[in-house]
Amino acid sequence: MTNYSFFCAALLLSLGACDSPSGRTPASSAGAEAPFAGGTGATDPAALEPSSSGARLPDSLHLISPSQVGRLRLNMKEQELLAVVPAGQLTKTSYQYKGVTYPAYRLRDAQQPKAPETILEFISGPDSVFTLRRIRVYDPQYRTAEGIGVGSPFGAARQVYGLTRVRQDEDDFVAISGQMRIGWILDEKSLPAGHGTDMSTADIPPATRIIGVRVR
């Protein structure tokens, strides 16, 4: 083989090596990050952010807000409730208010059927149509936008909502948030012995647990 032929062969081998897989940047390295770049499986950022109280925020179905709990809103008609909530989640019952018996429903949570039921209390309006008067929540899944709900310490609710008075109301010892129209039912076992029916929140131990929420 002449020197010229040898030089051409060497040049061809060198070019082939540059074009081989070992000489390239792997194409898969750019695509390896694709599954983590958003997508429909991404977690809602709001579900990961702590609230001002440090508690986990609820999803939209378990959000307590003024006059509303999830999809349930005060003053909705009984037929509207039955159109929104599957019948299998509801158990019809009744309750007493000012000596009169009114219809009510016990609502089971679709995601956690064994969780404490939510009580929906109806009342008759001027046109004799039953509307939702009050919602009683005992399930810890339900929270306000600030992360306060069943199981929260009273001190957290007082700090967030500026509560001033706690009083006996029907069968509950309740701290009322007038701004949100929400009542925080307190565990009376945690209150000072011999307490009255109307107390300043300054006299309530901050660690007293909220055992229920009333939306009215």
Q: Could you read off the pLDDT tens digit of each residue along the chain, which spans 216 residues?
A: 544 444 444 444 444 444 444 443 333 333 332 222 222 233 233 333 445 545 668 899 999 999 999 999 999 999 999 999 999 999 999 999 999 999 999 999 998 999 999 999 999 987 889 999 999 999 999 999 999 999 999 999 999 998 888 999 988 999 988 778 899 999 999 888 888 899 999 999 999 999 999 998
What is the per-residue pLDDT across 42-63, written as a single tens digit (0 to 9) for each? 323 333 344 554 566 889 999 9
For the record, the structure tokens of 179 come out as 């701004």
Q: What are phi and psi of 109, to 5 degrees?
A: -75, 135
Question: So what's the pLDDT on residue 55?
Answer: 60
What is the per-residue pLDDT across 154-164, written as a single tens digit (0 to 9) for each? 999 999 998 88
Q: Is the whole-model pTM more than 0.75? A: no
CA-nearest of 166, 202, 206, 158 to 185 is: 166
Q: Is 211 helix (H, G, I), strand (E, B) or coil?
A: strand
Question: So what's the pLDDT on residue 177?
Answer: 85
Question: So what's the pLDDT on residue 30?
Answer: 35
Alpha-carbon distance of 56 to 75, in angstroms, equals 29
Domains of the chain: 49-215 (2.60.460.10)
Alpha-carbon distance of 204 to 93, in angstroms, equals 34
Q: Where are the beta strands (DSSP E) in the chain?
A: 63-65, 68-69, 72-73, 90-97, 100-107, 118-124, 130-137, 143-144, 165-169, 172-177, 182-186, 198-200, 210-215
